[in-house]
A and B are shown apart, each in its own frame.
Chain A
Amino acid sequence: MSLEISQITKTYTTRRGSTEALLPTTFTVDPGEFVSLVGPSGCGKSTTLYMVAGIEAISSGSIRLNGQEITRPGRDRGMVFQGYSLMPWLNVEENVKFSHQLAANIKQEGTMSQVLSHYAYADRLIEIVGLADFRKSLPRELSGGMKQRVAIARALANRPQILLMDEPFGALDAQMREEMQELMLLLSIHERTTVLFVTHDVEEALYLSSRVLVYSPRPGRIIEELVVPFDRDRLLDIKLTPEFVQLKRRLLHLLHGSSSQDRASILMRLQDPANYSPINR
C-alpha cells in the first residue's frame, strides 16, 4: 500500500501560449509516512496535492495508489483544505458524519455492526480532536482552529488510505497553529495515518514530517529530499534545539537563496536620493 507519483507534470495553456507549472516530478509515499511538500508560493506543491486528490488533471505522467491509477477524486484519499470547507448548515457531529450519508460509503459499510463501528469511530474522533462539548455547535459558532479540527475528524472518519492536507493551518494565528501541529503529530502517530502535507512553513514541515520534499520556484521541481532525523514522537520543544534550527536554516537557504540580494536592493532603493521623502524629518 503506497502512493507512487511518477513523472507528473502540469502545463497551463492560455491564449498567449502555455506555461509550465510543474516539471516532471517523481516520489513515493509509503504507509505510515508523513511527507511534507514545501516551497515558495506558485511552485506547484498544491497543484501536486490536488492532482493526487484527483481534483486537478495531470498533464502527463501517472499517479498510482496501491497500483491503481488515479483519475478522479475518491474516498480512499481524504482531503483537508486551508479554508476548512465545513457544511455551514450542519453541526459539528453532522459534519464529521457527513460521509456516512453518501451512498458509496453506505454500500461499503455493509453489515450493521460495521456501520455502528463507523459511527462509533466518528464519535471517538470528535472526542480525540477535543470537540466533545461542541457536538451540536454550528460552524459559525466555532473558531478557526476548531473548524479545522472538525475538518480533520471528518476526513479521518471516512478511513482514507492517505490524508491530503493543503496548508491546513495557514489561516490560524501562531499559537493555535502550534496547538494544531501537536494534535496532528500525535493523531498521525496513534492512528497510523499516512499524510501528504503541503505548507510553506519550513518549521511546520520539519516538526510534523518524517520526510520533507523541497520545491524550486515556478516552474516547480523537487530540489531536495530530507529525511527528518528525529524520533517520530517529538515534543514541540524540539523546535528550539540546535539540530532542528540547523535543519531549518538549511531548508530556508534552499527556499530563499536570493534573499540577501533582496535586502541589498531594498536598501539601495531606500537610500536612493530620488526617493527621499521629507515625512517625519
Chain B
Amino acid sequence: MELFRKATLMLRPRHVLGGSAKAVGIALGFILFALAWSGLSRNYAAEGKAVLFPSPQAVWAVAMDYMGVGPKTAVKVLEARASAPSPAAADFAEDAVRAEAREDLKILGLDLKVSFRRVCIAFLLAALVGVPLGLFIGAYHWFESILQPVTEFIRYVPVPALVPLLIVVFGIDEAPKLMLIFIGTVFQIILMTSDEVRRVPMDLVHLCYTLGGKSSEVVFKVMLPAALPGIFDALRLSNGWAWTWLIVAELVAANEGMGYRIVRFQRYLDTDKLFFYLIILGLIGLLLDLLFRLLNRSLFRWAATDKR
C-alpha cells in the first residue's frame, strides 16, 4: 500500500524522479522501442518480406559484421576455408574474406569523415554569420527593421525546394551541399540569437548607460555575455538541423557520405545496413547534443538553474 502511494505520487505533474527511477524510465523507453521494432519486423517476416524490414537481431548482426566479429563474416570464413585445397590456401582465403569485411568498415569511416567535414564547415560558417547578425538584430531596432522581415521571408522558403536551384548555380561538387546546410541553419541561428538578445533585461542595459557605457559597450559587454548561454543553446538546436540538411543534400547528389550510402543500400535492398547507418546517425545526434549541453554547463556555470 505504501509502495502504491509512492508510485502514484511519482506520476503527478512536475514530480522530480530520483536517479534509479529515472534509469528505470529510460530503460523502459528503449525496451518498448525495441519491442515495437521487433513486432513490426516479425509481421514482415511472416509475409516472407524480412528483407524489407530487418529485425533488431539482424541489425545487431550487421553491426558485429562491421566490427569483423559478426555471423556473416564467420560463415564466409568457414566456407572459404572449406573450399580451399590446402591449409596455406585456407589461410589466404580467410585473409581475403576478412579484408573484404574490413572494406565495409573503411567505407563507413570515409562516409563519416566526409559527412562530418560538410556539417562542420557549413555549420561553422552559419554560426559565424548568424550569431553577429542575430546580435545586431536583437540590439538595434534600425538593423532589425532592415534585416528581420527579409530573413523571415527567406526562412519560410522550404529548404529542400532550393536543391534544384543550388545544383544549377553551384554544380554537383561540395559547394551546393555546403550551401544547403548553410542556408538551412543560418536563418534559424539569426532568429534564435536575436530572440535571446532581445530577452536581456532592459534594466541591465539602462544600468550600463548610467555607469557611463557607450552603445557598443552595451552590446558587447552586457547584451552579448548575458545572451551567450541562450545563443549556445540555439547552436545546439541548429546543429541538429545541420545534420538533417546534410542528409537531404547527400540523398540528391553525392558520391560519398552517410546520405549517399543510405540511398545505395536502398537500391541493393541492404536494409539491415541501412538500419545500421540510421542508428549511427541517431547516435551522432545524441552525442553532439550531449556535448553541447556539457560544454554549455561548464562554460556558463552562472546561468545554471535548478530543475525544480
Taking Cβ atoms with an 8 Å cutoff, the residues of A that contact B are 53-55, 72-75, 77-79, 81, 83, 85, 87-89, 98-99, 101-105, 108, 138-140, 154-155, 158, 164
Q: What B residues does A83 contact at CB under 8 A?
A: 201, 203
| B211–A103 touching, CB < 8 Å | no
| B212–A158 touching, CB < 8 Å | yes
| B300–A81 touching, CB < 8 Å | no
B206: interface (CB < 8 Å): yes
Count of chain A to chain B residue pairs whose CB atoms are closer than 8 Å in the complex = 76
Name the distance in Å between A263's Cβ and chain B's nearest Cβ. Answer: 37
Interface segment among B116-124, B166-174, B218-226, B280-288: the answer is B218-226
B210: interface (CB < 8 Å): yes
Q: What A residues does B201 contact at CB under 8 A?
A: 83, 85
Taking Cβ atoms with an 8 Å cutoff, the residues of B that contact A are 201, 203-204, 206-214, 217, 221-222, 225-226, 228, 300-304
Q: Can you report 30 residue pairs joining A to B where beta carbons are below 8 Å apart?
A: A53-B210, A54-B209, A74-B212, A75-B212, A77-B210, A78-B210, A79-B206, A81-B206, A81-B207, A83-B203, A85-B201, A85-B203, A85-B204, A85-B207, A87-B222, A87-B226, A88-B302, A88-B303, A89-B225, A89-B300, A89-B302, A99-B212, A102-B214, A102-B217, A105-B211, A138-B302, A140-B302, A155-B210, A158-B212, A164-B210
Assess A87 versus B204: contact at CB under 8 Å? Given A55-B209, A102-B221.
Answer: yes
Identity of the chain A residue whose Cβ is nearest the Cβ of B228 in the assembled complex? A89
Identity of the chain A residue whose Cβ is nearest the Cβ of B300 in the assembled complex? A89
Among B221, B300, B302, B303, which residue has its beta carbon within 8 angstroms of that of A101?
B221
| Complex Cα gap A81–B211 (Å) | 13
| Complex Cα gap A54–B204 (Å) | 15
Among B204, B209, B225, B301, which residue has its beta carbon within 8 angstroms of that of A72?
B209
Q: What A residues does B206 contact at CB under 8 A?
A: 53, 55, 73, 79, 81, 85
Q: What B residues does A55 contact at CB under 8 A?
A: 206, 209-210
Among B212, B228, B302, which residue has its beta carbon within 8 angstroms of that of A102?
B212
Identity of the chain B residue whose Cβ is nearest the Cβ of A78 in the assembled complex? B210
| A105–B212 touching, CB < 8 Å | yes
| B211–A99 touching, CB < 8 Å | yes
Q: A74-B209, A103-B214 are in contact. List 9 more A-B contacts (CB 8 A).
A: A55-B206, A73-B209, A75-B210, A81-B207, A85-B206, A87-B204, A87-B226, A102-B213, A102-B221
Q: What A residues does B301 contact at CB under 8 A?
A: 138
| B225–A104 touching, CB < 8 Å | no
B contact face: mostly helix, strand, loop, or mixed: helix
Among B203, B211, B228, B304, which residue has its beta carbon within 8 angstroms of that of A98?
B211
Q: What A residues does B210 contact at CB under 8 A?
A: 53-55, 73-75, 77-79, 155, 164
Identity of the chain B residue whose Cβ is nearest the Cβ of A141 in the assembled complex? B302
| Complex Cα gap A277–B175 (Å) | 75
| A89–B213 touching, CB < 8 Å | no
Name the distance in Å between B297's Cβ and chain A's nearest Cβ. Answer: 14
| B300–A75 touching, CB < 8 Å | no
Q: What A residues does B213 contact at CB under 8 A?
A: 102, 104
Q: What A residues does B209 contact at CB under 8 A?
A: 54-55, 72-74
| Complex Cα gap A54–B114 (Å) | 56
| Complex Cα gap A79–B208 (Å) | 10
| Complex Cα gap A118–B209 (Å) | 19
| B303–A104 touching, CB < 8 Å | no
Question: Residue among B206, B207, B226 with the most chain A CB within 10 A?
Answer: B207
Q: What B residues does A85 contact at CB under 8 A?
A: 201, 203-204, 206-207
| A87–B212 touching, CB < 8 Å | no
| Complex Cα gap A74–B206 (Å) | 10
Assess A104 versus B203: contact at CB under 8 Å? Given A87-B225, A87-B226, A88-B302.
Answer: no
Name the distance in Å between A46's Cβ and chain B's nearest Cβ. Answer: 13
Q: What A residues does B225 contact at CB under 8 A?
A: 87, 89
| A104–B212 touching, CB < 8 Å | yes
Q: What B residues does A77 contact at CB under 8 A?
A: 210
| Complex Cα gap A145–B163 (Å) | 58
Identity of the chain B residue whose Cβ is nearest the Cβ of A98 in the assembled complex? B211
| B222–A103 touching, CB < 8 Å | no
Q: What A residues does B214 contact at CB under 8 A?
A: 102-104
Q: What B residues does A88 contact at CB under 8 A?
A: 226, 302-303
Q: What B residues does A54 contact at CB under 8 A?
A: 209-210
Q: What B residues does A74 contact at CB under 8 A?
A: 209-210, 212
Identity of the chain B residue whose Cβ is nearest the Cβ of A158 in the assembled complex? B211
Q: What B residues does A78 contact at CB under 8 A?
A: 210-211
Q: What A residues does B304 contact at CB under 8 A?
A: 140
| Complex Cα gap A53–B217 (Å) | 18
Identity of the chain B residue whose Cβ is nearest the Cβ of A85 in the assembled complex? B203
Q: What B residues does A79 contact at CB under 8 A?
A: 206-207, 210
Name the distance in Å between A30's Cβ and chain B's nearest Cβ. Answer: 21
| Complex Cα gap A104–B221 (Å) | 14
Q: What B residues does A140 contact at CB under 8 A?
A: 302, 304
| Complex Cα gap A79–B304 (Å) | 27
